[in-house]
Chain A
Amino acid sequence: MINPFIYFLLFLKASLFSTGGFSNLPSLHQDLIANGWAKETDFGQSIAIGQISPGPNGLWVISLGYLSYGYLGAALALVAITIPALLVLIISAGYTRIEHRSWVQGAMYGVSLAVVGLLLTVVWTILHQPGVDWKGLLIAVGAFGLALSRKVNILIILGLAGLTGYLLYR
């Protein structure tokens, strides 16, 4: 039997000790599997769904919530990923007091550079998934070019990519 309160706390804990949409995965995996509250396949499925469903990447846990605990699980997961984001208000309040010191500006410049580097790792991770071959890399380049041109809607780009995938790999 799943205890809804503890189930919620596990999702909240995973979210509080993560940055970005996918880094709550190891913690959730450990806890839910240990309690027998989720199957191994639930994780693979929910991440795949996270890739094709709307909204931020982190919404993959909504899928995980549904697969492991139905609609209540999905709702609890949504609340659990929303709460930590409100901490940004505290962080920004502290930041405005010190933002004009020169070392703070240097530090934030360093963080901005790190963000670009981290985005590159996400690109690398996505393009390193099983199933992405040289044709997949061409699709990635094509999607980058189309998005860069600003003439094509993102949804259309992904639709074209899906169609290309269907034609190449069916």
Chain B
Amino acid sequence: MRLQDPRPGKWQLFRIWASIGLQSFGGGATTTLLIQRAFIEKHRWLSIEEFTQLWNLCILTPGINLVALTVLIGRKLGGAWGIVISLAGLLLPSATITCLITVGFASVQHLPVVQAILRGVVPATGGIMLLVGFNFALPLIRRGYKKGVLYLLASSVLIIACALAVILLKLSVIIVVLSAAFLGALFFSTKADSPLLEEVQGEQQ
């Protein structure tokens, strides 16, 4: 076990979330990356494995995954107050600014300059999103590598199949996630993963 930093105070937590919300121009990709950096790398409140687990729960939750992630991290670091403070920190300043930008943007959006700038910013958000995916994929690839070539190959095939199912077949995201969960339960369940826990559960039953 690696050392964890002490829990943050309320004001510190609010400041961190507010700065994440305000810095994350370019949408969810940037936000996710900033959350990873703030809570995993700068402060050691979460491990990347924990983060991935929390994120998986958020994928199963309706609505904006990042807001659900904020709820979970807020609860982990500060209970019910942590949830309220984290949500307020992430959403209130950035929503206010989004609203003000809307007011201004409506009056200048037809200008060619604004259009030109957007044509640079939009693909850059694509590149940042790719890095977020890369960060998510790393621990999975490491795990696959440990379990052998076949495991790694099957994992890669499932990733690509999920992407193609949405892009080419236009399947709904929920259906793709549920199918991947089903395939995972069928093909990736290994008792060797947690023999101790299995035993404990056996005793309880």
Contact = CB atoms under 8 A, between A and B. Distances in A.
Interface of A: 15-21, 23-24, 45-46, 48-60, 62-63, 66-67, 71, 74, 78, 81-89, 91-92, 95, 100-124, 126-127, 129, 131-132, 136-137, 139-145, 147-148, 153-155, 157-158, 160-166, 168-170
A111 B64 contact: no
6 contacts: A19-B177, A63-B98, A74-B99, A86-B83, A114-B177, A168-B119
A103 B185 contact: yes
A82 B67 contact: yes
B63 A58 contact: yes
B66 interface: yes
A-B pairs, 3 with minimum CB distance:
A110-B184, A165-B120, A117-B162
Contacts of B28: 20-21, 56-58
Interface string B126-170: 111111111011001001000000000001001111110111000
A127 B87 contact: no
Contacts of A165: 116-121
A92 B62 contact: no
B121 to A, nearest CB: 5
Q: Main secondary structure on chain B at its contact with chain A?
A: helix
A46 B102 contact: yes
B122 A132 contact: yes
Contact of A67 (B102, B125, B160): B102
Interface string B168-190: 00000110110111111111111
Interface centre among A45, A56, A137, A143 (most CB of B within 10 A): A56
